Amino acid sequence: MSGPLASLKVVEFSGLGPAPLAGQLLADLGAEVIVIDRRSAPADPTDINRRGKKSIALDLKKEAGLTVAKAMIARADILIEGYRPGVMERLGLGPDVCPDTLVYGRMTGWGQDGPWSHTAGHDINYLSLTGALHAIGPADRPPVVPLNLVADFGGGTMFLIFGLLSAIIERNVSGKGQVVDAAMVDGVPAMMGLIHSLQAQGKWGTQRESNWLDGAAPFYRCYECADGKFISVGALEPQFFEELLEIAEIPHPGPKVQHNSSRWPSDCASFAEIFKTRSRAEWEKLFEGTDACVAPVLDYKEAPNHQQNAKREVFFKDQDVSQASPAPRFSRSTPQRPASPGALGGDADAILTSLGYDTDAIQKMRENGLLT
C-alpha cells in the first residue's frame, strides 16, 4: 500500500451513499478498507465506490459471524456505518462492545438524536431542512435539486471523513477512540457560513435568484450559446468583469455599476443575446488564457478530454469506466492508482487467514452458511 493513509485500517459496513464514498476516499489515499457485505456477488467495475476495497460477506445474525466481525473490528482503527440509530446495537456491534481505541464513524442524515433521527430521508430532504435547497434555482420555479452532491457528499461524506481523521489525531494524544456522529443536517449548514454572514449583514435575500451568487447577477451565471451548448461566467471581481466586457464586446458602463442589482435583469437579457451569437467553441477560443473567468459547461463525456483535466489526469479509465483520480495530491506520499472494484465477499479467505483461521475452519464456515 502507498499513500498518506497507508497505516490506517478501516472496517466499513456495506450501505449506500455517503458512507461508501467515505470508505472509497480513504482507500484512495492508501487506507486498508474492508467491507462487511450481506452477501457475495460478482465484481462490478462500474461500482466506483468499491475501488481499492476488500470484501467479506458474513451472516451477522449468526454468533460465529459476529465473532468474525468483532475480530476484524479489534484490528481496525476506524469503523464506518451508515444505518439508522440503533441498528448496529441490535446487531450486537454498537460502540459499547468495541475496543475503546476504535474511532466509530456513524453517518446519518438527521443525526443520532432528535425527533426525526429514526425517520427515513434522502439528500433532498436534508438539504431542504437546512435552508440550502430554498436558495437554489430560478425565482419563478421550484428549487432545483443539485444532484445529491450537497447533502449526501458535501455535508455527509466530507464531514464524516473530517471527523474520523480528527478523532484519529486526537487519539494520538489521549490514546482513546470515540464515536463520530456525522449528520448531513449538521454538515450542510456548516458549509453555508458565507451565506449566513451575508444574510446577517443584509447583503443576501431569501428570494431565489436575487443575489450575486445564485444566478441573478449577469456576471455569475450560465448562458446559452449559438449551438445550444452553454458557457459559465464567474467574473466577480471588477478587473475580471472589465475583461469579460472587453473580450465579449458587451456594451456596459463598466465595473462601477457592476453590483447595481436594479440593472441585473436587463443586463442578463443583453448578455444572453450576445452569448447566443457564437458557438461554445468560439467563445472558448476567445476567452482562452484570459482572466475573464469564463469556462465551457461540459457534460460527463466531454470533461475528461478538456486540456486542463487531461494534463492533470483528473480522470482515468479502468475497464472502460471513466472515474476521478484520487484527490487531493501529495508531494511525497503519492497513492497508487486504485485497484478495480472486487467481488463482494471475494476476499473472505485472505481476511479470515489474517485473523488466524485455517483452511479447515474457513471451509466449515462456508458449509455452515456463515460466509454468504
The answer to whether the CB of 63 falls within 8 A of the CB of 354 is no
Task: Give the count of beta carbons closer than 10 Å to the beta carbon of residue 158.
Answer: 18
Out of 47, 122, 181, 259, the active site residue is 122
Task: Give the count of beta carbons closer than 10 Å to the beta carbon of residue 10.
Answer: 23
Q: How far apart are CA 195 and CA 87, in angstroms?
A: 36
280-283 contacts: CB < 8 A, separation 24 or more?
A: 280/225, 280/227, 280/229, 280/230, 280/231, 281/227, 282/225, 282/226, 283/225, 283/231, 283/248
Q: In what order do the strands lie in the sheet with 103-108?
A: 54-57, 32-37, 9-13, 78-81, 103-108, 179-183
306 is catalytic: no
Out of 152, 186, 214, 267, the active site residue is 152
- Phi and psi angles of residue 60, each rounded to the nearest 5 degrees, phi first: -80, 0
Q: Where are the beta strands (DSSP E) in the chain?
A: 9-13, 32-37, 54-57, 78-81, 103-108, 179-183, 220-224, 230-234, 294-296, 315-318, 321-324
134 is catalytic: no
Cell 449583514 found at: 201
Which amino acid, 262?
S
Cell 459499547 found at: 96
Integer distance in angstroms from the first to the last C-alpha of the chain?
A: 28
Task: Give the count of beta carbons closer than 10 Å to the beta carbon of residue 121.
Answer: 16
Q: Phi-psi bin for 86: left (phi > 0), alpha (psi -120 to 50), beta?
A: left
Which residues are catalytically annotated?
122, 152
